[in-house]
Amino acid sequence: MMRRLSLVLGMLVSLLPAHAQVILPTPMDHYESFDAGFTGLTLLNNLMSRMDPAGRLIVQQFMAPRADGTLPPVPRADALALLRSLDLESNRQEVLDLLVHVSSTLDVVPENASRWVPLVHDSLLFFVDGLGDERLFERILNLIYLPAGAPRGARLLEFTDRTPALQKIGQILARNPDLSPDIRQSLQNLENGMSTSNRDELVAFIEAELGAETIEEHQIRFSDEILAEASVGAVIRATLSYQDANREVVFKIIKPYVLEALPQELAIADELAAFIQTQGDFYGLGDVPLADMFQDVKEALSSEIRIEDEQDNLNRAEAFYAGSRVTVPIFIRSQLSGSPSWTSFGAKRSQRHSPEMPQGDVKWPGGSQTP
């Protein structure tokens, strides 16, 4: 239990950004005195005093009663434009703090581990601040556009949306039996209920990397739906022609937004060592080896976008299980003409296989160069 908790703490604290604009550490009495309703109302009045009439009208539409659970009658693009028009710097601390509390992310800390709430709270403040305004606005709108009365688990998932580092932490926490059942159930959706990409986005990404000539040469045709999705990757079925044979395969790719989001989130973690050295006593870390855990966590998250490592693992599995009845996806590699990228087509071996496994596999390096 302590080992799992220490790992999660290391992952959370490793999200601290290099240039936080919030004042930390948060005083310990904050957790007794903070009132989300009062803070939100005060912040709203402050912001509305600086809005033009059109902006105030949008806010009034958001505040209209929605007892039937319907969504706000304001297009999301209009709400985003309003957020972009506001100067939030003077209220940034309040905005971030309110976001962390309203999103119910602090509820992932079990009652028997409440001593770690200040550390988790401040780590999340710094993390979201480090993501920049656009990703902050995305999180705010996710919560605003939830149906009225949405449960805390739904708010938690919206906070982690399209944020692979937080989603990975959530997957680990989902196995903690000390969490409330509703929180555990919501976090388990990060393992088997992800839906942060759409089919057309993935197909367009693959086609752009492969090029029209390769698509036609191999007569690649994609399924109408995504087969499976995780925090970093997604899988989609396809058919293609290779060596005069039609093959059913799947493409596994790094989701396009992850190629930008995860490196940014990993870069934020580079400030962990200095922060721990200066604030370890305040958070009561004692002899918890967070400096070493920081390196392990960063490497673990970095490996999520190194698909060539997974390809190597499958190649070793192929050699290990040679001659057995275990099925291992194989790769049919072809170098793209005029491109430094490598693409890997995969097909099923003829050996007997488990019925739940797809009839083929394709590993896509997401633009990385395979030696």
Confidence of residue 367 (pLDDT cuts 50, 70, 90): very low
Q: CA-CA distance, 319 to 148, in Å (whole number)?
A: 54
Are 176 and 312 within one domain?
no
Q: Does the residue 237 lie in any domain?
A: yes
Quick one: CA torsion of 282, 287, 288, 290, rounded to 10 degrees? 80
**Predicted pLDDT at 333:** 53
pLDDT above 70: residue 96: yes
Residues 120 and 210 in one domain: no
16 occurs within a structural domain = yes
Structure-block tokens of residue 146: 């939830």
* Pair (41, 126) in one structural domain: yes
Query: What is the distance between the alpha carbons of residues 156 and 172, in angstroms, rounded to a whole number?
Result: 15
- 344 strand-pairing partners: 333, 363
- Grade residue 69 by pLDDT with cuts at 50, 70 and 90: low
Lowest-confidence pick of 11-15, 61-65, 79-83, 353-357 = 353-357
Q: What is the pTM assigned to this prediction?
A: 0.80
Query: Which string of DSSP letters, residue by residue, matches 59-86?
Result: HHHHHS--TT-PPPSS-HHHHHHHHHHS
Neighbours of 37 (CB within 10 A): 9
> Is 371 part of a structural domain of the chain?
no
Share of the chain above pLDDT 70, in %: 80
Residue 128 CA to residue 159 CA, distance in Å, equals: 10
**Rounded CA gap, 238 and 251, in Å?**
7
In a domain, 358, yes or no: no
Whether residues 26 and 157 share a domain: the answer is: yes
Enclosing H/E stretch for 100: helix 92-102
Split into its structural domains, the chain has a count of 2
Q: Hey, which of 15-24, 141-150, 331-340 has the most confident mean pLDDT? A: 141-150
If phi > 0 it is left, if psi is from -120 to 50 it is alpha, else beta; for residue 367 that is left
Give pLDDT, residue 276: 64
Judgement on whether residues 120 and 211 belong to the same structural domain of the protein? no
Q: Which of 188, 160, 192, 164 is nearest to 174 (CA)?
A: 188
| Position 293 pLDDT exceeds 60 | yes
Q: Is 226 helix (H, G, I), strand (E, B) or coil?
A: strand
Q: Give the range among 187-196, 200-209, 254-263, 353-362 with minimum mean pLDDT.
A: 353-362
Q: How do residues 71-84 score in pLDDT, each as one tens digit?
A: 778 999 999 999 99
- pLDDT computed for residue 273 by the predictor: 54
30 pLDDT band (50/70/90 cuts)? very high
Which residue has better confidence, 294 or 35? 35
The pLDDT of 230-239, averaged and rounded, is 89
**For the ranges 266-270, 276-280, 346-350, which has the lowest average pLDDT?**
346-350
* Residue 100 identity (one-letter amino acid): V
Band (pLDDT 50/70/90 cuts) for residue 12 is very low
Are residues 38 and 58 both part of a single domain? Answer: yes
> b vs e for 124-158, b when ≥16 Cβ sit within 10 Å of the residue's Cβ?
bbbbbbbbeeebbbbbbbbbeebeeeeebbbbbbb
Give dist(CA 276, CA 353) in Å, integer.
49
What's the rounded Cα separation, in Å, for the pair 138 and 98?
Answer: 15
Range(s) of the domain holding residue 233? 199-256+306-347
Q: What is the mean pLDDT of residues 253-266?
A: 89
Q: Is the pLDDT of residue 328 over 50?
A: yes
132 inside domain: yes
